[in-house]
Chain A
Amino acid sequence: MQLLDIRNLTVEMQTPQGIVRVLDKVNLQLTEGEIHSIVGESGSGKSLLAKAIVGFINPNWQVTADRLWWNGKDLLAMSPQQRRQITGRDMAMIFQDPNAYLDPNSTVEQQIVEAIPQGDVRGTFMRRRVDRKTRVKRLLHRVGIRDHEPIMDSYPFELSQGVAQKVSIAIAIAHRPKLLIADEPTTAMEPSTRLQIHRLLARLAVSQQMSVVLISQDVGSILPETKRLTMLYCGQLMETGPAKDILSEPAHPYTDSMIRMSLQTQQELPHKARLPTLPGAIPTLRHMPIGCRLGPRCPHAQKTCVKAPTATHERQRVYHCHFPLLVTSS
């Protein structure tokens, strides 16, 4: 059963220079309980894709899609109230800067309590209070905060970034969502904290039967448990498929260069060698190349690249390129 099914999602933004397509016909499929990573450089529209899923988007921007289905229901056809209800019940999102996403003037306990569904707590008034408190404690334990007492009475500004991120994960999983979207949750963190958060996410995905969409800048920092991987560049889908296949033999030149650029995956780099990077810089929103947007920077680009490549389906993966690195076996 497809949990999430997105076909040709396009987001257009109104700027003084005209309409800019920040997401150009992106596809994404997600099944229950899988970990899906979206990787791309800054400006690739990966956060925007996540925000489009939860309906977090600036209302002045144009969102169109052939299909934006959640559990077989069309999200775009719903009223905002309905959609918010579904999003609130089934999805949750965590962000890069957890402190900005926590209310600075309520305690951690208040904020977690608020996220626990009303139906979960039963009994009389006093019983409910005790019940809520134990639930908060249990949630904090589940995200790896063992010393719950001081944390519960703290305000967000008193927490370190790692703990704040754990608290926001606790808030996110309080209502047992089917999907957790993590938008670069560890980018600004120390390596050890990053590892903790990553392990936590992987464990939760298994124990809670929850799909996780992890957004990252770097192929090296995705979870080892990642099942599928999607590469985005400038709002265009480059390649998507099973993570293991893509990482071992990339089909798209962009994927290939991203893998070689990543320090975590690149062990055999000789001493004082240059890091293999793509030439040029990421184009600004106003100056998007036509056709394949990677065109001007792509080492394999040819004349035909000014036309947008169509999707090539091969085994389980899909890529958009005129000149893929893999020679198709068929």
Chain B
Amino acid sequence: MPHVNLYHHDETPSPLQLVWKSFRARFLSMAALYLLLAMILLVLVSPLLAPFNTSTQFSDAIALPPSWVESGNMQYLFGTDDLGRDMLSRLLIGGLYSLGLPILMVAVSSLIGMSIGALAGIDRTIKYQSLSRLFDTLLSIPSFLMALIIIAILGTGFNNVAFAITLSLIPQFIFVTRNAVHEEWHKDYVTASRLNGCSKAYLLYRVILPNVTPTLVMQLTVSLSVAIMDIAALSFLGLGIQAPTPEWGSMLARSLDEVYLSPWSMVLPGVTLFVTIMTINVVGDSLRRALKERVNS
């Protein structure tokens, strides 16, 4: 017997589902999301995919253009740089440092920042009230400057850079989480739950958290694009990940000298970086848009 739906069934999706629904409805949002996931996957398996070692210098193929140009060679799909290193391999492995590392850094800093922020958000003491404005003021100092200070203290190097950027991202998470929790805390539904005698932990996890999740996810995307920008900018300036390691920013830094000889060595890492940041920004922006649509409807 076929399943017959006799009664009209009303669906009332939860707020999170609503956000997801309106996110899904837009083609651009989904395209960006899939592209981002694909890039993350690509970065994860990049050591397997890279055809050559990133530091092998092919003396017979110096500054070879990409394969789609007349003088290119299929063996080096994206060409080689001025030292004869394979561009494709460098770009792929570079993703580990330019996209993989920022994801890791954001994960760590968000965990720390969000827990502190959540605690700060529900703390109602006078001391906190008077200090909050001061913190807000001090948080206006950009994360890049903080990362620079930390590097100035510790010196350059892979570990120091990763540490510096992770540390410099934390304040933003504290700030955003604290404000979001703080704002929800004053809404009537939270007051109602408080009057019902819910414990603080229950309030935080079951009452407030579902309502601030989209905001926090949005902050994740913002921080991710900031982290990618920061690490690329630091490497570009020569303070980040050091030369033989194929990071996109440092690849760009040395490309200006050879731009006449091999323009692709500037275009390819730049485009990769640009597309990565753009994708993340589009995902974040779509999320903000979906969130607004939910609130408006």
A interface list, Cβ under 8 A from B: 286-287
Contacts and interface: CB of A to CB of B under 8 A. Distances in A.
B8 interface: yes
Interface in B1-38: 8, 10
Nearest to A284: B10
Where chain B touches its partner, the secondary structure class is loop
Contacts of B10: 286
3 contacts: A286-B8, A286-B10, A287-B8
Interface in B184-214: none
Interface residues of B, number: 2
Interface in B101-157: none
Contacts of A287: 8
A51 to B, nearest CB: 18
A287 B10 CA distance: 11
Contacts of B8: 286-287
Nearest to A287: B8
B7 to A, nearest CB: 11
A286 B8 CA distance: 10
A3 B59 CA distance: 92
Nearest to A17: B8
Nearest to A16: B11
A287 B8 CA distance: 9
A286 B10 CA distance: 10
Nearest to B11: A16
Contacts of A286: 8, 10
A286 B12 CA distance: 13
A11 B8 CA distance: 24
A289 B249 CA distance: 66
A287 B9 CA distance: 11
A220 B10 CA distance: 35
The 3 closest A-B pairs by CB, nearest first: A287-B8, A286-B8, A286-B10
B103 to A, nearest CB: 37
A286 B9 CA distance: 11
A285 to B, nearest CB: 11
A76 B81 CA distance: 69
Interface in B250-265: none
A15 to B, nearest CB: 12
A168 B116 CA distance: 46
A61 to B, nearest CB: 15
